[in-house]
Structure 1
Amino acid sequence: MSTPVDLIVERYHHALDAVVTGDSAPMKELISKRDDVTLANPLGPPVRGWNGVERTMDHAISHFHEGEPTRFERISEFIGTELAYIVELERTRVKIGGSDELSPIALRVTTIFLLEDGDWKVLHRHADPITTPRSIDSIIQ
């Protein structure tokens, strides 16, 4: 039997499939509009608040088109009464920018969901390309 969190994760995964085709609308429906919503994507620094999240998301998604459905590998999850999170690896292939070639993408992602007025919303998403071990030198800036 599916739980409400299972249903939001399923909707979230479908929204991510839309993202790699260049369609941000399904994801925007799922993201909280709270002042403390945050997004940390691989293309820039973290942003806080709906306006910054929307602007950052629009910029990133504008580069994607004709992507394939994403494959998800669940690493861990927690489901509480008002808060839930998932840690996953996301893998897909997508055409980026003006390219006609599909490029593989792999991301390590943590997503936090919050129950708002009876509806689960994405409160935080952090995605980075670290999906394999790296040397300690890789963190030096």
Structure 2
Amino acid sequence: MDGAPHTSPAATFPTALARLRAALASVANGDVGPIKALYSHADDATSMYGWGGYEKGWDAISKRWDWAGQQFKGGTVSHENVTTIIGAELAYTTDIESFDVRLPGMDQPTRWTNRVTHVFRFEDGSWRLLHRHANRLEGQYEPAQRLGGNANAQA
């Protein structure tokens, strides 16, 4: 060993999580630079955002963030952490994420809440966001009611 202190990847994860929170606050104000800097630029990076579709690979993800940044005209985002798991090379968080933002064509801010999963990978000495999945937080419901079936129907 060279005698230099070694910091484990797990010990540095709180910094990556703080960067994610700050980056999403920037997104709420139309600035996607910080989230794009945090995201992995690997071919296996993925995204599944609350506005449908999905992306795989950095080129597609980068374009989607550029589009997303154009949707936000100022506001805030808050997070309630549900779970954080940190391994040697992978980590993930599950959160409840609430946006209060202005969107194009709207006079007043709007609010929505997502359930979100973020997956990080330790790449070249730092944590990078590998995957984001966000969709609207809804109340629980019976599948048949949501899908148009009759929960009381008999076979």
Partner of 1:14: 22
Give the unaligned 5+ runs of structure 2: 1-9, 149-155
Partner of 2:113: 106
Deviation at 1:131, TM superposition (A): 4.1
Do 1:89 and 1:131's aligned partners in 2 also have CA atoms closer than 8 Å? no
2:80 is equivalent to residue 73 of structure 1: yes
**TM-score for both structures, normalised by structure 1:** 0.91
Runs of 4+ off more than 6 Å: none
Give the unaligned 5+ runs of structure 1: none
Q: Name the stretch that deviates more: 10-19 or 43-52.
A: 43-52
Deviation at 1:118, TM superposition (A): 0.4
Aligned residues: 138
Q: Which has the higher strand share?
A: 1
Partner of 2:139: 132
Q: Aligned-residue CA RMSD in angstroms?
A: 1.5
Partner of 1:54: 62
Partner of 2:98: 91
Partner of 1:115: 122
Partner of 2:47: 39
SS in 1 for 2:75: coil
Aligned-residue sequence identity (percent) comes to 32
**TM-score for both structures, normalised by structure 2:** 0.84
**Larger-gyration structure (1/2):** 2
